[in-house]
Chains A and B, each alone.
Chain A
């Protein structure tokens, strides 16, 4: 285990469904991130939270809604998705957004999302 746990590992949902992805970190970090990884494209940053406050929304459509109730938990709520939203969604954490300790980022195993 990497210290960052994502559930579920796989998710298949219809375009009218509502589902949520969950991320939990046990590293005592204060920054958490959502990334999207599509085939043949670099990882795309979606959202950033630092000490529970959202510091970045990288022009993500409103059908993706993040929630960070505390520094250890991060959710991504999904509704009325499109087939092109099918991808691997990765959660990451770091000590803070500036990585002042220079320890880098720790990633979870990801959720493979398929929208049908």
Chain B
């Protein structure tokens, strides 16, 4: 059974810093990996999706990498801003017949201090 772990559970950084959020998964046979952002009490906003054949994806100040063989993904946020404060969730979709659900980590709660 796929398990997804996100470390750290919480992170506080001063504005302007670059930071890295980590996601690890136990079964490397994945179809894709998706990073989401969740503001308090709100739904999930998709940030980046990395297909299993890809190594990284970029959107603005965000860069996500994927190393399937080691079961790891990172989300890099450049020049952090207070508006980046949120919980970041990593979700893995397994490959193979019958694998049609996402497995989520518990998230990393990011606070960017002005």
Contact = CB atoms under 8 A, between A and B. Distances in A.
A32 interface: no
B77 interface: no
Interface on chain B toward A: helix, strand, loop, or mixed SS? Answer: strand
Contacts of A110: 41-43
Contacts of A92: 44
Interface residues of B, number: 24
A48 B104 contact: no
Interface string B26-59: 0000011010100001111110010100000000
Contact of A56 (B4, B45, B101): B101
Contacts of B68: none
Contacts of B103: 42
Contacts of A104: 32, 34, 46, 49
A111 B43 CA distance: 9
Interface in A63-116: 88, 90, 92, 97-99, 102-110, 112
A1 to B, nearest CB: 11
B102 A105 contact: yes
A92 B103 CA distance: 14
Contacts of B45: 2, 107
B46 A6 contact: no
Given A99-B31, A104-B34, A105-B34, A90 B44 contact: yes
